[in-house]
Structure formats: structure tokens, C-alpha cells
């Protein structure tokens, strides 16, 4: 049967394996129901005891074995259904319109595609299977009960109808509250991933208190919504539980009356009681999984929302096979609401004939990048306003259009994959073609300098490339594609002019015969363009041939004059770009060794008003419920009295009814509060990971996707802690039953049922642990690759590579599913052992009775208590088999948190109230002189970024680094910000900096990265980060006031679901954040690369006016000319230093 990827229903589980599993479960249910009939015969003395015990053994043990086999098959079916669902969700996520995708945080999508599917699968494996068992047994029990006692034909359906009727009103409330809770979960995951992804920006701005405060606020909101959901759910559970127990109460009272009146046999009463208690007991087990049911239902709700998400249009006409001109016809477009602030394009009209290249120039924020976004339909233009090859892009097939339009943007996004795969994006491109692309860019030596050449893994888990090197990868991507229109949106902004000239020269071959649009702030980039279009505030203010506009008075000539651009002719040309690997011993961090036992004990002790009191409620329900020791004791005495005909049965019957009614009350009370402990425990553990990832002392570099995936997998630890609460409840049940029976043999039987699963699990623990470790690692790898694909989703989609990247992710997920299916098969097999032992315990109870070992009352007591110990046997086994899983996760999480204590909160942090302390005032040591002596920057893997640097910087100086891509500029600056380890000495006022990861922070050093990140908070909060900082002067110096006015003020939200910022605006906002710290030294890594010449000049003048000491990088002539000192780096070493005017004759090729 072909599945509809947008539907979520039972058909996803359909198949031959499902049919086989259902058949096994039906046979198991039938055998157990027939066993109830045999048990009734034994209690009533209606048959031969010996043969009945033998028959009972065959039925019950056979039922347990068949049930275990069916459950094992089901686990595999669900695992593969998870894989198909995850693939469908991934496809739906990747095929959303780009504007919709950009409003969703990576953490949120990761939560949807991975964690929600995992939760839904867990729900089906546990509660779903239990519900199926309960439904099968309920139907069969109803039939057999009806044949035994005709009134059961009406009584069972009546109770079910009443339970459904009383549950419906509160069920609607639960659904609404659950939806609100899931929104809070999504926001929690999004904020977590965003903070981890921006950890370097966070720590260098002393922003950890801010992200922890944001986390605490979201945690408090989430806990409040979980509380609301739990209250409504517990009300539903109480109503259905009381309705079910009313069935048992009616049976008890009516049965006593009928048996004493000789209108029903005792065997019939016991049979019906066993059938009804089995039905009610199954419902009780489902109730015990209520927190998981809530989580699973919420996950399914979020999954359905993603399946129903808007999709990009499908179908359309192919790109016409004619010369591909580009035309904009009266294009008007606005971000934001009609009545609110937002950026707008206004009546943009011009045409680029086929085969020509047009440069788009203008000041930062003038609309250049927005305009080019319409060509590949990253933004949907109004109909008839954007044409490629004479055809409206809205009428063109989207994938065909994106294959025809090649885009390289300022911010290059890399996948967590090899260099080869980052170029091909997993398409079927010959390796020789990739090698030829790098050869065309003069980059053979650069590639050969990487550790594994084209097979070198890039990203946090591999080799980190500078922003300029990343743009080289983007050009190689374009060279291996056969495109008809080329869009270069600040595609060389991160490159030095010499490397840019080589890349542009290579791209001339690509542009030959093709139509091109080039967005450029570095106006030298436009020299080879045929046409120029000047934009200002979303309007075309000048358009024409470049050779004419150069000399004609107007906006373009003014931009040229501001940039001071001149031809680079006559300047020497350097050698091809190379990458030399020099290595030291990699940085090693001490291994954190957490104790699983101490961590579980710590978890069980937090929030006792929820965890401890909830446990008491579960304990009382355990001994008073239908399978409880107290109710079993009373029922046994009642059956014995009815059989002997002595005594008055009514007092015992009333006590039994009271016990049965009390059970749901205690369960409901426990479930009203216990889920809060569960969620609060998970939030504490994740808080520890976030705190470790954003603290000043760096941990091992791990991708944000992998960190988020590990953190979202925290349920592994919480489940394990919960197991030990159930172990305590099991001990209570055994102790109560043994005390009430007074028989050592009863204690032995109960302990055997409880402890033998643990023994079997201990034997299978190595296999289970290995399978779980493989599954956990596979999930982490999927999380890493999925997060990197979602981070790079704009590149993936605009490259027409959605299908190939999706196929790669599905291959990785297939490995994860195989590992998880193995894990769940092993786990299911081990979990089936308690079921066999429970049924063996029931047979033993009746066998001892038949042999005269104890009386009928004790037999009923032991059989009743043992029947309810199936779950506890599973828990005992899980406490053994899940220990390696929980320990492995705990070890990984502790390494990510940098501490063995994942439970304790810092002083003044209260996740329930949403409180976390404000940051302390940063200490400040005024700068007089900064000296570097033999400084060598060493990256985490031991790679030397720059070595042997000697430099002196006086207060108020502006020092700029110049050099080619990969020359070590960023490595040097990151070492000055404490983000890269160093050898040699850094001296601050002649005092050596002993703790760079603490001292090289505000108020000493403020850092702006090459590709900065902003948080999804307001402009103001992005700058202040909850510190007592004055943002307005920083906004002024960073030239952001006009942008703030256009956006609606500094209180407007940016980032996810906020104002969209251009690359230049992000850089200036990050600069404002650094300036607001009023640090003694500003370390700025290429802060002006996305700025137009005029804005850049204003920025440098503003920094001069503030008297800021600056060490930065730039490849712009106007910036270098204003520096007090320019330091030239080549191949990781200083080769020249001095004023730019002195360096210009030899090194002018490095500036543009």
C-alpha cells in the first residue's frame, strides 16, 4: 500500500510483519483469557486440580511466550515506521518555503524531525502495545465473561461507555493544554540550540548569564504548562479509573449476593473477577505510563503540524531553451505588515540581456540581496515581475529554476561532511570534476594541504575553515554545476583581493555566455561587469553600462570616489593559495567521570513535593489497587469464606470495594504532580549542558547539532532514574504481600518473579549495552548531520540539492534505524522474560494450593499480587539492561557540560520560578600597552594557525592584519580573544596573561567574529545581554540608528520570527554588542566585509572618535589607509609590518 507522506495513521504500520505480530498477540490474549477460566475452576473446586494446573501452565506460559514474540516483531515494525515517518517529516521540512524555514530555529526543526519521532515511537512500543493488548483482552474477556454470566454482556460495555463519557470533557481540555505545552517545548529546544551554536559570541560578550536567564524563563513557562496538562490529564485518569473500578465493585457486591443465594457458582465469580481484573489491570498499566502518553501525544501533535506545513509549489514549466536574460518589471515588495515597519523594494525595473553581467551596488541595507533572492524564488515575487529567459519565474518549475540559477552568497554554509561532499552536495558528480574545479581556482595546493585532501571532514568535528576559505568551497560548488544564470551575492567578500582576482578570473569561464548578477560592496569586483544598477532604499537610482557610469556624475561615481578604488594593474601577483599544516599536540581536556548511582540518587531527591509525594501516591495505589497486596488479601479471604460457607462475607466485600475505589484516587493524585518532577529533572540536566557549553573555559568543540541531539536525549537518564522509583514500589508490594500471607514460600515466589528478570537481564546486559551504545552514537551522528543540513538549508535549496541532501540524511537515518531496531529487539526480548515469570508465578501459586502447600486465601493473594508484578519485573530487568545506556549518555553529557554534577543548580537559579542571576560587573584593567612575544595560535586538533608573532600595540592604536585567505589572520585574533590556545606570551601592561579564557574578555577585550551570530531577542537585548550597558552610543558608532528606525525601534525582536537582518546589519549589530562593553581592546575579524564603502568610512571614523584600541582584519584599501599599523601575514607568519603607505608598493595586491 502506497503511503501518503502527509498522513499520519495506522496505515504507516500496515504490512505482513504487522499482521504476523497481530496474530501472535491475538493468540496470546486468547490463551490468557482461557487461563482465567481455568483459574476460576481451581478456586471454585469445580475440576481435577492436577490436570487444571497443567492446563493452566500450558495456557499462561504459552501466552507469555507468544506475547514476547509478538512484541519483538512489533518493535521492528515500529522502528521502520519511524524511519519512514522521519523521512516524510524531513521532506516536508526541507520543502517548506524558505521564508517559513528561516522563521524556524534549527533546534525546533531538530526537535520535530528527530526527537518527536523518537517519542512517538517510544509511545507506540510501550503504551501503544499495552493498549493493543488491553483491547484484545477486553474483547475476549467480554465474550468469555458473557458466556459465563449473561449480565456481563451489558455490564462491560456499560462501564466502557461511562468511562468514555466522563473522560470526554476533560480530554478536550487536555488536548488544548497539550498543544500549548508543545509550543513551549519547541521554544525551549530552539533557544537551546541557538545558544549553543552561538557559544563563542556568547562567551566573548560575557553573555552566559543572559542565555541562562532566557533558558530559566522558558523552563518556568514549560513547567507551568506541564502542570496545567497534568492537572487536566489526572482528572481524566481519575474519572476513567473510578468508572473501571466501579465494574470491580459491582462484581464484588453482586457476586457475593449471587453466590450466597446459590444463583452463581464460585468458579464463575472467580472467572469473571479474573477477566475483569485483567481488563482493569491493563488500563492501570496504561495509566502508569501517563507522562509518556502525554509526551507521545504532544509529539504526534507536533508531527502532524509539520506534515501539514505549507510546501513550496510543485510543478510548472521548464526553463525555456533560449538565451536566459533576466528582467525585473515594476517589482515592489515589502517585509513586515502593511501597517508596521519593514523593508521595501519600490517599483524596481531593469533588464540584463542574456550573456551580460550586471553589478548591483548600493549602501548596506539598500535591497541588493533581497532583489537577487527573487531569481531562485528564495522569496516569491508578485506574478509577472521577475522573468528568466522571458518566462515568469512563478510559472517555472521550482527545481528546474534553481538548477538553472546558480547562487553564491556572502555567508557560505558548510555541511558536516567531507570537502568533496560539500562541493557536490551529495550529487552524482565525478571526483575528477571536483578536482578540475579546484584547479580552475588555482587551489590544488590548498586542497593538498588539508589533512585528507578532498576527503577531509569539515566542521566542528573536523577541520575548521576560515570564512574566506569557505567562500572558495562555494565557488567550487558553482563550477561543478551547469547553470545558465549566475548570482554572486558578495561571494568574494571574505577573500583578499588577490585571491578574489584569481577566483573572479576563474569564474569568467563560468560567466562566459551566461547571464550574471554580482552584488558587491568592494567596487573593484565590478570591473569586469558590463552593466551597473545602483540601489538606494529599495529603489533603482541609476542603471546603465559600467563604462559610461564610471565617468558620468551620479550615485555610482560617488560610491567609487568614497571607496578610493583604483585598478590593481602594475601590482605584483602572488603565488597560488596554499595551506600548510603545522601541528602541535592536540589540546587534551580531563575526562569527566560521573557516577550513575550518585546522579540517580540526586535526581530522586530533587523537588520532593513532586517526586517523593508522587511516589507515595503510586505506592498506596500499588498495594490498594486491583492487583495490590491488600486487595488480594481481602479478595482471597472473601473467596475462601464463600467457598467454606462460614462467616459473614459482607464486611470483607465492603473493605474490598473501599480499596478498589481508593486506588484511582491515589494514582490520580500522583499523576497530577509526578510529571512535573520528570520535566524539571530533564530541564536541570539540559541546563547543565547549556551552562558548560557557554562558560568561559572552552570544552571540546562539538557541533551544535550533536550537542542538541545529546541534550534532547536526556530522557534516557530520567527514565533510568524513574526505574528506581518503580523498584522501590516493587519492594513495597512484595513486602506487603509477604507480611499479609505470613508464608516464607509466598515471599520466595514473589522474590523469584521480581529478581529473576534482573538476573537474566544481567546476563544480557553486555549485548543490550552494546546495542544501546551503537544506537545512541547513530542518533548523535544523525543529529549532527541533520543540524548542519538545516543550518545550510538556504544553500541546499538554492543549489537545487534538496533531493540529494535528503537522500544522504535518509542513508544516515537508515543506519540509525538498524541500530535502534537491534537495540529494541534485544530490549524487548529481555522485557518478555518478566511476563513468562509472572505467569509461572501464577501457576506456582495454584500448584502449591493444589498440592496442599497453602490455603485458598493465600493462593488467591499470591496469584493476585504476582499477576500485577509484570511491570515491576520489567522494571527490575530494565534497571540492569538500561544501566549501560544511561551511563553512556551520562558520560557524554557530562563531557559536554564539563562537570560530573548535572543535577545541582548554581546559587540563585530557580527553573520553577524562572529566575537566574543578572551578570556581575566585568572587572577592568586599563590598557596601556599590549605585547605579543612569539605568539603561536594552536587549534584544538593541534593545527598551528599562526606562529612566532611579535607585536606591540599602544592604547588608542588601530592595527589591521592583511593577508590572503588562510594566512592565519582569524587564528591570531581568536587567540587574542581566548578562543584558541596559544604558545608564547601575551602581555597586558607588561604583565603576562595567565588565564586568557577569563582575562581576554570584557572589560579588557571585546571580540567580533568573522561571521557573527545574533540571538532571537530584541536589538537592545542583543547588545546589552542583561548587563548594565548603554546601547545607544554603540548603535550610533555601529551606524545602526537608521536600521533601528526602519525596524521600529531597538525593542523589536530579531532572529527567528523577528526582523530579518542583512549580512551587514548582523555585522554591525555584533559590533555594537562589542562596543557596548566599553572594553579596552576591540578585536574585530573583518568587521566591514559586508559594508559599503561609505558606511565603512563612517564606521572607522566613529571608532577613531571613540578612541577605541582596535586589532582587526581588513582587505579594503580605505580601512588599511586609516590604520596606525598594518601587519601582513603569509602562511601563518608575519612577513611585513608598518603604515600602509609604506607597504603599498609590495603588498598593494592584498587590498581593494
pTM of the complete model: 0.79
Predicted confidence at residue 799, as pLDDT, reads 86
391-392/386-388 β-pairing: antiparallel
CA–CA–CA angle 612, 616, 618 (5° rounding): 115
Which range has the worst mean pLDDT, 370-379, 451-460, 583-592? 583-592
Does the 929-1150 domain belong in CATH 3.30.300.180? Answer: no
Q: Of the candidates 974, 1007, 989, which has an alpha carbon nearest to the alpha carbon of residue 925? A: 989
Q: What is the mean pLDDT of residues 739-760?
A: 90
- Tens-digit pLDDT profile for residues 1078-1109: 999 999 987 766 666 677 777 778 888 888 89
- Tens-digit pLDDT profile for residues 655-703: 999 998 998 999 999 989 999 999 999 999 999 999 999 999 999 888 8
The correct CATH number of 10-310+594-897 out of 1.20.210.10, 3.30.1360.120, 1.20.1560.10, 1.10.40.30 is 1.20.1560.10
Residue 568 has pLDDT above 50, yes or no: no
**Residue located via cell numbers 602581555:** 987
Predicted confidence at residue 605, as pLDDT, reads 96
Query: What CATH superfamily is the domain 326-563?
Result: P-loop containing nucleotide triphosphate hydrolases (3.40.50.300)
Which range has the worst mean pLDDT, 399-403, 560-564, 1048-1052? 560-564
- Tens-digit pLDDT profile for residues 266-279: 888 888 888 888 77
**What residue spans of 625-714 are helical by DSSP H?**
629-644, 650-694, 704-712
Q: Do domains 10-310+594-897 and 929-1150 have the same CATH topology?
A: no
Which range has the worst mean pLDDT, 288-297, 600-609, 740-749, 942-951? 288-297
**Residue located via cell numbers 551570530:** 1013
Which one is predicted more confidently, 910 or 885? 910
- Tens-digit pLDDT profile for residues 88-143: 888 898 899 888 887 777 777 877 888 788 878 877 877 777 777 777 888 888 88
Q: Of the candidates 760, 738, 736, which has an alpha carbon nearest to the alpha carbon of residue 748? A: 738
Residue 987 has pLDDT above 70, yes or no: yes
Cα–Cα distance list, 1039 to 66, 384, 523, 930, 1094 (Å): 73, 36, 21, 28, 11
Residue 572 has pLDDT above 60, yes or no: no
Going from N- to C-terminal start, the domains of the chain cover 10-310+594-897, 326-563, 929-1150
Is the separation of the CB atoms in 247 and 156 below 8 Å?
A: yes
Q: What is the mean pLDDT of residues 296-317?
A: 83
Is the separation of the CB atoms in 984 and 949 below 8 Å?
A: yes
In sequence order, the 6+-apart residues with CB closer than 8 A to the CB of 249 are 656, 657, 660, 661
Q: What is the mean pLDDT of residues 207-213?
A: 97
What is the percent of the chain where pLDDT is above 70?
Answer: 91
CA–chain centroid gap for 1014, Å, is: 19
Cα 933 to Cα 939: distance, rounded to the nearest angstrom: 18
Predicted confidence at residue 570, as pLDDT, reads 39
Instruction: Tell me the pLDDT of the chain averaged across its residues.
Output: 86
Which range has the worst mean pLDDT, 284-288, 299-303, 861-865, 991-995? 284-288
Predicted confidence at residue 75, as pLDDT, reads 84
The sheet that has 1081-1084: what strands, in order across it? 1005-1008, 1081-1084, 1109-1113, 958-963, 1125-1130, 1133-1138
**Residue located via cell numbers 547588545:** 1023
Residue 341 has pLDDT above 50, yes or no: no
CA–CA–CA angle 787, 708, 1068 (5° rounding): 70
Q: What is the mean pLDDT of residues 44-72?
A: 86
The sheet that has 344-352: what strands, in order across it? 344-352, 326-334, 386-388, 391-392
- Tens-digit pLDDT profile for residues 353-388: 999 999 998 877 788 888 998 999 988 999 999 999
Q: What is the mean pLDDT of residues 999-1006?
A: 94
Predicted confidence at residue 862, as pLDDT, reads 92
What is the percent of the chain where pLDDT is above 90?
Answer: 41
Which range has the worst mean pLDDT, 252-261, 342-351, 908-917? 342-351
- Listing DSSP states for 861-908 in one string gives HHHHHHHTTHHHHHHHHHHHHHHHHHHHHHHHHHHHHTSS--SPPPTT
> At 292, is the pLDDT very low, low, confident or very high (cuts 50, 70, 90)?
low
Q: What is the mean pLDDT of residues 1065-1077?
A: 91
> At 569, is the pLDDT very low, low, confident or very high (cuts 50, 70, 90)?
very low
Amino acid at each position: 500500500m502506497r503511503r501518503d507522506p502527509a498522513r499520519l495513521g495506522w496505515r504507516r504500520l500496515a504490512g505482513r510483519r504487522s499482521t504476523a505480530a497481530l496474530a501472535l498477540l491475538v493468540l496470546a490474549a486468547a490463551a490468557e483469557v482461557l487461563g482465567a477460566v481455568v483459574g476460576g475452576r481451581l478456586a471454585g473446586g469445580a475440576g481435577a486440580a492436577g490436570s487444571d494446573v497443567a492446563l493452566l501452565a500450558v495456557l499462561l506460559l504459552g501466552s507469555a511466550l507468544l506475547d514476547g514474540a509478538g512484541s519483538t516483531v512489533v518493535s521492528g515494525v515500529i522502528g521502520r515506521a519511524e524511519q519512514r515517518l522521519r523521512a516524510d517529516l524531513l521532506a516536508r521540512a526541507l520543502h517548506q518555503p524558505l521564508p517559513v524555514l528561516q522563521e524556524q530555529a534549527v533546534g525546533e526543526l531538530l526537535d520535530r524531525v528527530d526527537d518527536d519521532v523518537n517519542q512517538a515511537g517510544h509511545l507506540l512500543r510501550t503504551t501503544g502495545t499495552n493498549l493493543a493488548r488491553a483491547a484484545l483482552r477486553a474483547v475476549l474477556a467480554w465474550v468469555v465473561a458473557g458466556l459465563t454470566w449473561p449480565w456481563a454482556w451489558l455490564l462491560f460495555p456499560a462501564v466502557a461507555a461511562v468511562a468514555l463519557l466522563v473522560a470526554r470533557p476533560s480530554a478536550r481540555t487536555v488536548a488544548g493544554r497539550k498543544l500549548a505545552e508543545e509550543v513551549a517545548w519547541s521554544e525551549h529546544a530552539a533557544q537551546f540550540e541557538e545558544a549553543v551554536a552561538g557559544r563563542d559570541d556568547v562567551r566573548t560578550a560575557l553573555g552566559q548569564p543572559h542565555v541562562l536567564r532566557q533558558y530559566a524563563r522558558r523552563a518556568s513557562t514549560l513547567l507551568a504548562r506541564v502542570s496545567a496538562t497534568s492537572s487536566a490529564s489526572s482528572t481524566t485518569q481519575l474519572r476513567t479509573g473510578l468508572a473501571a473500578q466501579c465494574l470491580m465493585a459491582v462484581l464484588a457486591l453482586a457476586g457475593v449476593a449471587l453466590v450466597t443465594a446459590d444463583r452463581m457458582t464460585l468458579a464463575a465469580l472467580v472467572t469473571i473477577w479474573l477477566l475483569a481484573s485483567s481488563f482493569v489491570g491493563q488500563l492501570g498499566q496504561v495509566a502508569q505510563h501517563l507522562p509518556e502518553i502525554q509526551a507521545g501525544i504532544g509529539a504526534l501533535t507536533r508531527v502532524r503540524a509539520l506534515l501539514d506545513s505549507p510546501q513550496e509549489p510543485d510543478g510548472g514549466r521548464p526553463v525555456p531553451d533560449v538565451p536566459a536574460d533576466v528582467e525585473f518589471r515594476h517589482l515592489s515588495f515589502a517585509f513586515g505588515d502593511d501597517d508596521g515597519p519593514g523593508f521595501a523594494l519600490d517599483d524596481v525595473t531593469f533588464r540584463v540581456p542574456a550573456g551580460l553581467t550586471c553589478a548591483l551596488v548600493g549602501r548596506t541595507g539598500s535591497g541588493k540581496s533581497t532583489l537577487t533572492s527573487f531569481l531562485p524564488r528564495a522569496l516569491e515575487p508578485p506574478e509577472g515581475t521577475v522573468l528568466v529567459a522571458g518566462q515568469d519565474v512563478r510559472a517555472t518549475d521550482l527545481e528546474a529554476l534553481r538548477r538553472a540559477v546558480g547562487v553564491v552568497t556572502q555567508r557560505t554554509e558548510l555541511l558536516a561532511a567531507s570537502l568533496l561532499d560539500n562541493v557536490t552536495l551529495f550529487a552524482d558528480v565525478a571526483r575528477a570534476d571536483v578536482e578540475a574545479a579546484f584547479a580552475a581556482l588555482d587551489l590544488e595546493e590548498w586542497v593538498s594541504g588539508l589533512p585528507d585532501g578532498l576527503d577531509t571532514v569539515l566542521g566542528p568535528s573536523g577541520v575548521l575553515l576560515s570564512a574566506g576559505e569557505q567562500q572558495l568551497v562555494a565557488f567550487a560548488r558553482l563550477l561543478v554545476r551547469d547553470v545558465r544564470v549566475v548570482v554572486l551575492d558578495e561571494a568574494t567578500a571574505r577573500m583578499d583581493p588577490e585571491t578574489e582576482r584569481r577566483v573572479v578570473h576563474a569564474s569568467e569561464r563560468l560567466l562566459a555566455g551566461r547571464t550574471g548578477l554580482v552584488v558587491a560592496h568592494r567596487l573593484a569586483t565590478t570591473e569586469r561587469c558590463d552593466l551597473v544598477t545602483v540601489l538606494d532604499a529599495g529603489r533603482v537610482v541609476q542603471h546603465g553600462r559600467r563604462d559610461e557610469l564610471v565617468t558620468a556624475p551620479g550615485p555610482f561615481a560617488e560610491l567609487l570616489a568614497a571607496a578610493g578604488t583604483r585598478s590593481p594593474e602594475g601590482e605584483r601577483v602572488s603565488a597560488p593559495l596554499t595551506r600548510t599544516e603545522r601541528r602541535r599536540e592536540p589540546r587534551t581536556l580531563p575526562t569527566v567521570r560521573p557516577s550513575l548511582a550518585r546522579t540517580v540518587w540526586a535526581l530522586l531527591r530533587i523537588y520532593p513535593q513532586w517526586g517523593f509525594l508522587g511516589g507515595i501516591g503510586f505506592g498506596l495505589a500499588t498495594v490498594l489497587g486491583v492487583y495490590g497486596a491488600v486487595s488480594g488479601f481481602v479478595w482471597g479471604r472473601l473467596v475462601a469464606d464463600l467457598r467454606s460457607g462460614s462467616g459473614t462475607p459482607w464486611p470483607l466485600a465492603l473493605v474490598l470495594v473501599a480499596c478498589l475505589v481508593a486506588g484511582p484516587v491515589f494514582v490520580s493524585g500522583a499523576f497530577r504532580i509526578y510529571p512535573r518532577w520528570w520535566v524539571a529533572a530533564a530541564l536541570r540536566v539540559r541546563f547543565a549542558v547549556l551552562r558548560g557549553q557557554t562558560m568561559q573555559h572552552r570544552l571540546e568543540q562539538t557541533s551544535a547539532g550533536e550537542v542538541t541531539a545529546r541534550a534532547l536525549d536526556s530522557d534516557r537518564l530520567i527514565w533510568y532514574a524513574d526505574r528506581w522509583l518503580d523498584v522501590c514500589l516493587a519492594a513495597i508490594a512484595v513486602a506487603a504481600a509477604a507480611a499479609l500471607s505470613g508464608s516464607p514460600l509466598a515471599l520466595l515466589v514473589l522474590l523469584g518473579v521480581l529478581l529473576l528478570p534482573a538476573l537474566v537481564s544481567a546476563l544480557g546486559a553486555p549485548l543490550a549495552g552494546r546495542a544501546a551504545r551503537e544506537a545512541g552514537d547513530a542518533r548523535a551522528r544523525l543529529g549532527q548531520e541533520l543540524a548542519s543540513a538545516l543550518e545550510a538549508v538556504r544553500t541546499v535549496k538554492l543549489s537545487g540539492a534538496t533531493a540529494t541532501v535528503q537522500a544522504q540524511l535518509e542513508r544516515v537515518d537508515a543506519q540509525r534505524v538498524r541500530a535502534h531496531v537491534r537495540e529494541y529487539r534485544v530490549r524487548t526480548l529481555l522485557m518478555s522474560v518478566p511476563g513468562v515469570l509472572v505467569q509461572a508465578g501464577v501457576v506456582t501459586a495454584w500448584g502449591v494450593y493444589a498440592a496442599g502447600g497453602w490455603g485458598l486465601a493465600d493462593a488467591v493473594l499470591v496469584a493476585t499480587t504476582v499477576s500485577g508484578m509484570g511491570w515491576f519485573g520489567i522494571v527490575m530487568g530494565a534497571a540492569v539492561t538500561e544501566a549501560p545506556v544511561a551511563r553512556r549518555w551520562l558520560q557524554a553529557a557530562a563531557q559536554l557540560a564539563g562537570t560530573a554534577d548535572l543535577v545541582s543548580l548554581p546559587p540563585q537559579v530557580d527553573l520553577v520560578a524562572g529566575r537566574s542571576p543578572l551578570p556581575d560587573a566585568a572587572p577592568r584593567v586599563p590598557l596601556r600597552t599590549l605585547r605579543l612575544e612569539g605568539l603561536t595560535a594552536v587549534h584544538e586538533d593541534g593545527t598551528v594557525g599562526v606562529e612566532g608573532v611579535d607585536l606591540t600595540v599602544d592604547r588608542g592604536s588601530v592595527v589591521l592584519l592583511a593577508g590572503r585567505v588562510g594566512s592565519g589572520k582569524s587564528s591570531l585574533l581568536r587567540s587574542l580573544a581566548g578562543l584558541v590556545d596559544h604558545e608564547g606570551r601575551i602581555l597586558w601592561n607588561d604583565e603576562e596573561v595567565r588565564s586568557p579564557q577569563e582575562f581576554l574578555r570584557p572589560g579588557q577585550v571585546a571580540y567580533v567574529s568573522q561571521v557573527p551570530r545574533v540571538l532571537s531577542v530584541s536589538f537592545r537585548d542583543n547588545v546589552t545581554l542583561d548587563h548594565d550597558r548603554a546601547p545607544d552610543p554603540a548603535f550610533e558608532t555601529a551606524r545602526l540608528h537608521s536600521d533601528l528606525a526602519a525596524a521600529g525601534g531597538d525593542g523589536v525582536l530579531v532572529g527567528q520570527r523577528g526582523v530579518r537582518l542583512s549580512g551587514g546589519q548582523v555585522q554591525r549589530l555584533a559590533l555594537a554588542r562589542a562596543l557596548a562593553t566599553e572594553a579596552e581592546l576591540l578585536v574585530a575579524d573583518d568587521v566591514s566585509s559586508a559594508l559599503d564603502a561609505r558606511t565603512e568610512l563612517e564606521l572607522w571614523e566613529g571608532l577613531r572618535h571613540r578612541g577605541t584600541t582596535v586589532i582587526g582584519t581588513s582587505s579594503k584599501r580605505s580601512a588599511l589607509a586609516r590604520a596606525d599599523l598594518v601587519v601582513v601575514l603569509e602562511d601563518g607568519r608575519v612577513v611585513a609590518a608598518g603604515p600602509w603607505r609604506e607597504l603599498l608598493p609590495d603588498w598593494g595586491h592584498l587590498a581593494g
